[in-house]
A and B are shown apart, each in its own frame.
Chain A
Amino acid sequence: MTEDSNQPVLRFENVSVHYEDVAALDGISFEMRRGETRILLGASGSGKTVLLKTAVGLVRAGAGRVLVFGRDITALSEGELFDIRGRIGFLFQEGGLFDSLTIDENVSYPLVNQRGAKPEKPDAIENRVRETLRFVELEQTLEQYPSELSGGMRRRVGIARAVVTEPELVLYDSPTAGLDPITANTIIALIVKERDTRNAAAMMATHRYQDGQLMANYRYNPHSGDLERASSNGAEENGLKTIFMVLQEGRLAFEGTEEELKAADDPYVSKFVKR
Chain B
Amino acid sequence: MLDFLKGPVQAMQDFVAIAGKAGKNVFRSPHYARDILLQMDSIGVGSLPVVILTGFFTGAVMAMQLARALSTYGATGQVAPVLCITLVRELGPVLTALMVSGRNAAGIASELGSMKVTEQIDAMRALGTDPIQKLVTPRLIATATMLPLLTIISDLMGMFGGFVVSEGMLNMAPAQYWNTAWKALEYNDVVQGILKPFVFAIIISLVGCYFGMQTTGGTQGVGRSTTQAVVVSSIWIIVTTFFIGRIFLNLS
Chain A residues within 8 Å of B, Cβ to Cβ: 53, 56, 58, 78-79, 81-83, 85-86, 88, 90, 92-94, 96-99, 109-110, 113-117, 161
Contacts and interface: CB of A to CB of B under 8 A. Distances in A.
Contacts of A110: 127-129
A94 B125 CA distance: 16
B132 to A, nearest CB: 9
Given A99-B118, A113-B32, A115-B30, A92 B123 contact: yes
Given A96-B119, A96-B120, A56 B129 contact: no
23 contacts: A56-B126, A58-B125, A58-B126, A82-B125, A85-B128, A86-B127, A86-B128, A90-B126, A92-B123, A96-B120, A96-B122, A98-B115, A110-B127, A110-B128, A110-B129, A113-B32, A113-B129, A113-B134, A114-B127, A114-B128, A115-B128, A115-B129, A115-B133
B127 A79 contact: no
B130 interface: yes
Contacts of B123: 90, 92, 96-98
Nearest to A158: B123
Nearest to B120: A98
Shortest 6 CB-CB contacts between residues of A and residues of B: A96-B123, A86-B128, A90-B126, A85-B128, A114-B128, A113-B129
A97 B124 CA distance: 9
A41 B109 CA distance: 37
A76 B93 CA distance: 43
Interface in B130-153: 130, 133-134
Contact of B126 (A79, A92, A117): A92
Contacts of B32: 113
A53 B115 CA distance: 18
A17 B125 CA distance: 19
B127 A115 contact: no
A92 B127 CA distance: 11
Given A110-B127, A110-B128, A114-B127, A58 B122 contact: yes
Given A114-B128, A115-B128, A99 B134 contact: no
Contacts of B130: 78-79, 82, 115
Contacts of A79: 130
A146 to B, nearest CB: 10
Given A82-B125, A96-B119, 5 more contacts: A90-B123, A92-B123, A96-B122, A110-B128, A113-B129
